[in-house]
């Protein structure tokens, strides 16, 4: 009777009717669920660890040396034109603001001692500018930038407080676009007091996917972008609307302007550089930039004093590994040297103490 009572009580609490087997919580009897899968666990011995250390060292050290030498062969020249130093030609422009009606112009003379043989990339660099701030990164409307007409006149609320101005939607909206870098940089070769302008290519500086996929102008009259953007207004800190960003090339205006696209790809660190233009070799037998005297002409429009920032112009060549960056080569050489050193130390220890137990007399 006691057994029957327990069965009835169990059925009552489990909610299972007569004739129905109670559902078991036991895992299925499979190799995976019962943890019977075969496994391999390495046994670390001197015969496996020592060769691994030596192999890593022998491979990493030459790779590091090659990368380091390649990085050092890249020519790079940098000019800080912030104007913090009172002797700088751009010191007079240090207090420029977004509301300045006239651009402040300054010219910095410099000299290149060696030639830049291959194509030269001109970058602008900013310091202490945190493009990785969460609210800053989110302050954009990707649908608007992709040419969506509804988003053009009704931007996302993520763009606040740079969503509307004077009761008109801002195009492009958001804090990223509003803070776009707008200094003008021109380079001149000075020969016997005569300045010769260095041609600067402004196309091909943005990522292909950004230019052709992520950024598009709204559909409509492609020859008259002013008509397309007529119901919008420019960002607050801009001096001209988006359809007039490039006065030289009408196909490089609007949301597909490459300077704008480059700026909209936010940087991960507070000190960064972005591509401004390309100085191409006109003749394969000539160098891109000859040694000699040069002048950098600057229309100083971008204020950085309020956040203690710095501005730089960088001229650089590239190699198969990109721009100048000695860190990767140093990292490879450091890891390889540490592994090789540890291999030598462990080999000495193993040779001296490894066979002690084997040579000792073992009593019966």
Q: Is residue 1 part of a domain?
A: no
DSSP 24: P
| Ramachandran area for residue 166 (φ above 0: left; ψ -120 to 50: alpha; else beta) | left
Q: 76 Cβ partners below 8 Å, 6+ apart?
A: 314, 315, 316, 317, 323, 324
Burial 118-140 (b: 16+ CB within 10 A, else e): bebbbbbbbbebebeeeebeebb
- For residues 121 and 187, membership in a common domain is answered with yes
pLDDT at 343: 94
Residue-wise pLDDT for 39-64, tens only, equals 888 888 888 899 999 999 999 999 99
Separation of alpha carbons 217 and 148, rounded Å: 8
Q: Check residue 5 and give its pLDDT.
A: 43
288 & 323 share domain: no
Nearest to 236 by CA among 181, 152, 177: 177
Burial grade of 309 (CB within 10 A; 0-12, 13-18, 19 or more): middle
- pTM listed for this prediction: 0.79
Same domain, 142 and 284: yes
Look at the block and give the residue holding tokens 């670390």: 44
Q: Is there a single domain that holds both residue 251 and residue 229?
A: yes
Q: What is the pLDDT of residues 142-163, one digit of tens each?
A: 999 999 999 999 999 999 999 9
Do 196 and 87 lie in a common domain? Answer: yes
How high is the pLDDT of residue 342?
94
360 within a domain of the structure (yes/no): no
- The conformational region for residue 192 under phi > 0 = left, psi -120 to 50 = alpha, else beta, is left
Dump pLDDT digits (tens) for 162-177: 999 989 999 999 999 9
Q: Which of 88-102, 219-233, 268-282, 309-323 has the lowest mean pLDDT?
A: 219-233
Check pLDDT > 60 for residue 30: yes
Portion of the chain with pLDDT greater than 70, in percent: 90
Chain-wide mean pLDDT for the chain? Answer: 88
Do 333 and 222 belong together in one domain? no
pLDDT at residue number 12? 47
- CA dist 322 and 146 (Å) reads 29
Provide the H-helix boundaries in 165-274: 175-178, 208-209, 225-228, 258-264
Q: Which helix (H) or strand (E) holds 358?
A: helix 356-359
Domain tally, the chain: 2
Q: State the residue range of the domain holding 142.
A: 76-317
Cα–Cα dist 176/237, whole Å? 11
Q: Is the peptide bond before 71 cis (omega within 30 degrees of 0)?
A: no
pLDDT in tens, 176-234: 999 999 999 999 999 988 999 999 999 899 999 999 999 999 987 667 888 899 889 99
**Whether 132 and 90 share a structural domain:** yes
Let me know: does 274 contact 123? Beta carbons within 8 Å.
yes
Residue 309 and residue 345 share a domain: no
Determine, yes or no, domain membership for 28.
no
- Residue 278: strand pairing partners: 121, 201
Q: How far, in whole angstroms, is CA 260 from its chain's centroid?
A: 15
Q: Which of 330, 347, 326 is nearest to 60 (CA)?
A: 330
Got the DSSP string for 304-323? -GGGT-EEEEEEE--BTTBS
**Could you tell me if 157 and 274 lie in one domain?**
yes
* pLDDT at position 7: 44
Assess whether 152 and 58 both reside in one domain: no
Tell me the per-residue pLDDT of 241-258, one tens digit each, with 9 for 90 and over: 999 998 888 888 999 999
| Pair of tokens at residue 62 | 């030459």
Q: Residues 132, 251: one domain?
A: yes
Q: Are residues 211 and 122 in the same domain?
A: yes
Task: Determine, yes or no, domain membership for 271.
Answer: yes
């Amino acid at each position: 009777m006691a057994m029957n009572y327990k069965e009835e009580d169990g059925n009552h609490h489990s909610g299972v009717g007569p004739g129905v087997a109670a559902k078991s919580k036991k895992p299925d009897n499979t190799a995976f669920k019962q943890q019977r899968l075969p496994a391999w666990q390495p046994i670390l011995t001197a015969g496996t660890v020592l060769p691994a250390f030596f192999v890593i060292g022998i491979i990493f050290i030459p790779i590091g040396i090659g990368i380091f030498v390649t990085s050092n062969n890249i020519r790079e020249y940098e000019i800080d034109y912030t104007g913090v130093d009172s002797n700088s030609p751009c010191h007079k422009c240090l207090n420029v603001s977004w509301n300045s009606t006239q651009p402040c112009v300054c010219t910095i003379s410099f000299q290149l001692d060696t030639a830049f043989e291959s194509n030269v990339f001109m970058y602008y660099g900013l310091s202490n500018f945190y493009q990785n701030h969460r609210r800053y990164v989110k302050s954009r409307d990707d649908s608007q930038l992709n040419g969506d007409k509804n988003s053009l006149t009704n931007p996302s609320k993520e763009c606040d407080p740079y969503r509307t101005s004077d009761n008109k939607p801002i195009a492009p909206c958001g804090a990223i676009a509003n803070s776009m870098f707008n200094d003008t940089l021109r380079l001149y070769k000075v020969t016997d007091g005569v300045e010769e302008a260095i041609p600067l290519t402004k196309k091909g500086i943005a990522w292909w996917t950004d230019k052709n996929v992520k950024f598009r102008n709204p559909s409509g009259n492609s020859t008259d972008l002013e008509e397309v953007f007529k119901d919008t207004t420019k960002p607050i800190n801009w001096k001209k609307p988006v359809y007039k960003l490039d006065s030289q090339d009408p196909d490089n205006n609007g949301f597909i302007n490459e300077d704008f696209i480059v700026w909209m790809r936010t940087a991960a660190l507070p000190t960064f550089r972005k591509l401004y233009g390309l100085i191409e070799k006109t003749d394969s037998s000539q160098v891109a930039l000859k040694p000699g005297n040069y002048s950098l002409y600057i229309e100083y429009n971008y204020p950085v004093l309020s956040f203690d920032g710095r501005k730089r112009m960088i001229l650089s060549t590239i190699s198969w590994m990109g721009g100048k960056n000695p860190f990767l080569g140093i990292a490879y050489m450091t890891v390889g040297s540490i592994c090789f050193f540890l291999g030598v130390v462990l080999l000495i220890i193993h040779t001296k103490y490894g066979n002690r137990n084997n040579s000792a007399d073992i009593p019966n």
